[in-house]
């Protein structure tokens, strides 16, 4: 601990206008050994152009199969401060809203039990507390739960659901993403903490098709806000945009993917029956245009990154659904039907998107009890290899219909 911290390569990353993680970690290294040896090991990685971490698989807090990622230095003698460097995932509050008081409680806990380093936040949405020793895991967990925090997911379980700001700070929110994330997370604590699936399952909630949580690319179940009725127009505000010289023709009318907007003078008319709710016009003219009144959400399923069978965007399965009077039973029922069918017929390490590709969408829909809809496809099939399930038997052939 006494030897001088020499990191000439990393020092190069203290230059330039973007915030430097090296400067920040160095500030912690003044008082703690873990960030100090992290920098020393990282300097070696920069010299040698390779990482020096071993993946652990067994560490965790008692009774939980998720929330802790085991990590050990491959060079523990050289860098004893990071011989253990486990990650603790802490379930973030909906929309990543904090107060300074609550955040300071977390900082105090992590200063006492860990490295004092974090990712704010991880890709799934959790607060990621980076780096602690095995024997500190249980005390960290107990300190967190005392202050009302719990761990997130990891492994073959439900990962921490995450959501956009939604109704907390956005006029486009078509459903309460904040409350839904809270409800789902609490309803599925068992699935979050005790891995029981074939593989991970991520749920992300975005309040409108702008999809600020990237749910359609990054979650096994994307819940995306949508409305069914007409885009609302504030005529006076629309006229003001025109008066202010806003180029509505080039920036809005010509950008509409279904050409359903026309503008005459200071009047806009929208063919709402042909609108695909892409959000572009509303994004451009937030004071004049807004989402309709009949609001709810669509559900797409099966997004993932390429490993293993190639990247997938989430596939449409529910074009419109609503939560009425805070009753989530219908949504829970759908989620559980999906999990059950995937559990029963999926393979180990097979994400649900890959599962649907393997068994076919038709089989999946039948398995979870959903009807096929034209909204689920870009186009019907273009090959004739149809597996017909119904045949006329010979003796019935001449009899015609009943």
Partner 1 sequence: MGDISVDQLAEDCYAIVAENAGQKKVKAGDLQKAMAAKYGDQIGRADVKAAIKQLMDSGRTVYGYFGGSSIELPHKEAAENQ
Partner 2 sequence: MATEAKRVTDIGPPHFEKFLHPMIKENFGKWKYHESLAPGVLAHTGPAGTIFSVRMSSARLVSSNFLRMVCDLADKYADGYFRFTSRNNVEFLLANKDNIEPLKKEITDKGFLVGGTNNAISNVVHTQGWVHCHSAATDASGLVKVVMDELAEYFTSEKLPAKLRVAVACCLNMCGAVHASDIAILGLHRTPPRIDNKTLPNLCEIPTTVASCPNNAIRPTSIEGKTTVKVDEDKCMYCGNCFTVCPAMPLADPLNDGVSIWVGGKISNARSEPMFTKLAVPYIPNNPPRWPEVTSTVKQIVEVYAANAKPFERVGEWINRIGWPKFFDLTGIEFTKYHLDDFRHAGTTYRRSVQNRY
Binding residues for partner 1 (CB under 8 A): 54-60, 62-66, 70, 72-73, 76, 83-84, 134, 154-157, 190, 194-199, 340, 343, 348-349
155 binds, among partner 1, partner 2, none (CB under 5 to 8 A by kind): partner 1
Name which of partner 2, partner 1, none residue 176 binds, using a CB cut-off of 5 to 8 Å depending on partner kind.
partner 2
User: Going residue by residue from 253 to 292, which x/- string records binding to partner 2, judged by CB under 8 A?
Assistant: --xxx------------------xxxxx--xx-xx--x--
Q: Is the peptide bond before 308 cis (omega within 30 degrees of 0)?
A: yes
Q: Which stretch binds partner 2 (CB under 8 A): 60-68, 261-269, 315-323, 338-346?
A: 60-68
* Interaxial angle between packed helices 100-113 and 134-146, expressed in degrees from 0 to 180 and rounded to the nearest 10: 160
Nearer to partner 1, 238 or 341 (CB): 341
Prior bond of 121 cis (ω within 30°): yes
Nearer to partner 2, 181 or 368 (CB): 181
Q: Which does 95 bind (CB under 5 to 8 A by kind): partner 2, partner 1, none?
A: partner 2
Which of 65, 98, 365, 370 binds partner 2 (CB under 8 A)? It is 98
Q: Is 226 helix (H, G, I), strand (E, B) or coil?
A: strand
Give the nearer residue to partner 1 in terms of CB position, either 62 or 379.
62
Q: What is the DSSP string of 46-90?
A: HHHTS--EEEE-S---TT-SSSEEEEEES-TTT-GGGSB--EEEE
Asked if 134 is part of the footprint of partner 2 (rule: CB under 8 A), the reply reads: no
Q: How far apart are the C-alpha atoms of 291 and 231, rounded to whole Å?
A: 5
Beta strand extents in 217-363 (DSSP E only): 221-227, 232-233, 261-264, 267-270, 289-290, 295-301, 315-321
Partner whose footprint covers residue 67, from partner 2, partner 1, none (CB < 5 to 8 Å by kind): none
Tokens representing residue 348 in the block: 């180990």
Residues within window 205-244 making contact with partner 2, judged by CB under 8 A: 209-214, 216-218
Footprint of partner 2 on residues 287-316 (CB under 8 A)? 287, 290, 305-311, 313
Find the shortest distance in angstroms from Cβ 81 to partner 2.
Answer: 14
The answer to whether 173 and 208 are in contact (CB under 8 A) is yes
Q: Which two structure tokens, joined as six digits, stand for 262?
A: 């026309």
**Cβ pair 247, 262 in contact under 8 A:** no
């Amino acid at each position: 601990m006494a030897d001088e911290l020499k990191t000439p390569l990393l020092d190069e990353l203290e230059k330039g206008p973007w915030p430097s993680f090296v400067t920040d970690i160095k500030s912690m290294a003044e008082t703690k050994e873990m960030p100090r040896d992290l920098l020393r090991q990282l300097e070696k990685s920069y010299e040698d152009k390779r990482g020096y971490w071993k993946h652990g698989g067994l560490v965790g807090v008692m009774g939980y199969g998720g929330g802790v990622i085991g990590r050990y230095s491959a060079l523990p003698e050289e860098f004893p401060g990071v011989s253990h460097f486990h990650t603790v995932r802490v379930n973030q509050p909906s929309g990543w809203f904090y107060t300074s008081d609550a955040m300071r409680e977390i900082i105090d806990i992590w200063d006492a039990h860990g490295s004092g380093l974090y990712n704010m936040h991880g890709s799934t949405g959790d607060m990621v507390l980076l780096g602690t020793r095995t024997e500190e895991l249980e005390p960290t967990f107990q300190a967190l739960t005392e202050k009302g925090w719990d761990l997130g997911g990891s492994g073959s379980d439900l990962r921490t659901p995450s959501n956009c700001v939604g109704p907390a700070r956005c006029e486009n929110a078509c459903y309460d993403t904040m409350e839904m994330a809270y409800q789902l997370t609490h309803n599925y604590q068992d699935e979050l903490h005790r891995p029981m699936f074939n593989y991970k399952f991520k749920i992300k909630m975005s309040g409108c098709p702008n999809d600020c949580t990237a749910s359609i690319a990054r979650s096994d179940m994307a819940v995306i806000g949508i409305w069914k009725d007409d885009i609302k127009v504030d005529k006076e505000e629309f006229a003001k945009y025109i008066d202010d010289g806003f180029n509505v023709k080039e920036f809005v009318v010509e950008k509409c993917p279904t050409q359903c907007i026309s503008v005459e003078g200071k009047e806009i008319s929208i063919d709402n029956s042909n609108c695909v709710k892409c959000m572009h016009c509303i994004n451009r003219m937030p004071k004049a245009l807004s989402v309709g009144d009949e609001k709810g959400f669509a559900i797409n399923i099966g997004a993932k990154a390429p490993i293993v069978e190639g990247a997938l965007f989430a596939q449409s399965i529910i074009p419109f659904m609503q939560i009425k009077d805070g009753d989530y039973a219908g949504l829970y029922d759908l989620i559980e039907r999906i999990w059950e069918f995937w559990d029963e017929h999926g393979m180990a390490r097979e994400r649900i998107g890959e599962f649907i590709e393997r068994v076919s969408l038709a089989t999946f829909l039948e398995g979870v009890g959903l009807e096929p809809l034209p909204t689920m496809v870009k186009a019907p099939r273009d090959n004739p290899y149809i597996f017909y399930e119904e045949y006329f038997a010979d003796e019935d052939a001449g009899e015609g219909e009943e």
